[in-house]
Amino acid sequence: MPEIDLPRLRRLLGTPETTWLLERVRDRMAAGRTLDTAVTLKTATAEQRRAIELLLGRRLRSGCSLTVPLAEVDRTLRASLTCPDGLAAAVVALTGPVTDRQARHAAEAAAWQQALAEFDVPAIASRADLASWRAELEATGLLKRLSGGDPVVARTLAAEAVHVLSQLPATNSISLPVLAARTLGDAHALDEGRPLAALVFSAVRALAALPAGAASDAEGRRAAWAAVGVALDELSSRVLVLGLPGSPRSTTGRILAAAHEGGEPCLLTLRQLARELPDLGVAGRKIRVCENPAVLAAAADELDPGCCPPLVCVEGNLSLAARALLTQLADLSCPIAYHGDFDWGGVRIAAGVLRLPGAAPWRYNAPAYLAAVERGLGTPLTSGAPAPTPWDPALGDAIAEHGIRVEEEHLLDHLLADLGSG
């Protein structure tokens, strides 16, 4: 087979004056278009016109524009044996291989579908919250952004995310580094700032029923992870207690006993509650639970040291430490009595506590709310979406009707009286 006369080809088609022609032909080849039409340069220089005349071996019409029939260029290159395989082969010889854009786009689309297919496993597809998250992931292009537009990287990220999400929500409280180590072999794999951490956390928001973009600050992230049973670390997750007798039989028990004797509040971390099962000294005793630290602080100030009955403060949304402690208390057959703010946030917190075995409301029902409103307590309720109150449906109706927020601090007199009566 005759070879390309490369020196001659460069003189005819590889000059600066014919660069525009090569670019037009390459673009058509990349788009999968045929080379049997003409291309036009609207404003051509005399040098560009002369170069095409040398290529075709004939004079061209005068004028500003320059039209080149590609089929004629192809025939000329073949007939002169400058490039026996024609124009397309000449372009490749002069400028390198031409990628078929359609084929490339099809291959890229297939690669992205393979990456997204990593999520099409029962651990994701069988769960409505994660299935909707997967659809949103594809619609928003989050996976593509986190992977830097590389479908190979995206597939790896997706597979690793599935490993993590298959373990969520965690059945037992676990710290984020331990979760990362167990599922990915790297305790830092889910550290904030990593693409995988952002991908997994977007799913955590879905599992926690939070909208996209929510939980953007440190406290919000901590609460979102806690909702799926994961603590950012074992020490930052805590729960505030007062009046837990404790016991000398464990380290945490001794700490509680000392605080109880002095009538002082005590902070328990998830580490203390998870590393050992502390002897709380409350088997079968009634446990009061409040939402706000002000209630616990007032009890510590006004009740005699050592006389306050067991009181737990969840400090807003349940931390993992609070969940762990309340679960342990429920397992000890301790009746749990809960009080919180009369607003929609307080209702949601109450729902989480009142799902525990043996849990019941403590002055947290419709009569208590209406009595507070009649006393003129509270402020207008201007935020939060309504939530059900299955332990007393009339409570939700009353809050919606009156639109008054009554915080625990408004009701300290009643709550302290209950605590003081033992």
- Return mean pLDDT, the chain: 90
Say which DSSP state 342 is in: B
Q: For each of the domains in the chain, give its residue range(s) and CATH number, in order of start.
A: 6-99 (no CATH), 102-231 (no CATH), 238-420 (3.40.1360.10)
Q: 415 pLDDT band (50/70/90 cuts)?
A: very high
C-alpha distance across the termini of the chain, in Å:
104
Residues 223 and 122: their CA atoms lie apart, in Å, by 27
Q: Convert the pLDDT of each residue in 69-89 to its tens digit.
A: 999 999 999 999 999 999 999
Q: Convert the pLDDT of each residue in 387-396 to its tens digit.
A: 999 999 999 9
Q: Convert the pLDDT of each residue in 312-328 to its tens digit.
A: 999 988 888 898 899 99
- The per-residue pLDDT for 213 is 65
Instruction: Give whole-number Cα distances, 164 to 18, 185, 187, 357, in Å.
Output: 57, 11, 12, 29
| Token pair recorded at residue 7 | 């020196």
Mean per-residue pLDDT, 410-414: 96
398 neighbors 369 (Cβ within 8 angstroms): yes
Q: Convert the pLDDT of each residue in 108-129 to its tens digit.
A: 888 888 988 899 888 888 888 8
SS3 61: coil
Whole-model pTM: value is 0.61
Residues, the chain = 422
- The per-residue pLDDT for 79 is 92
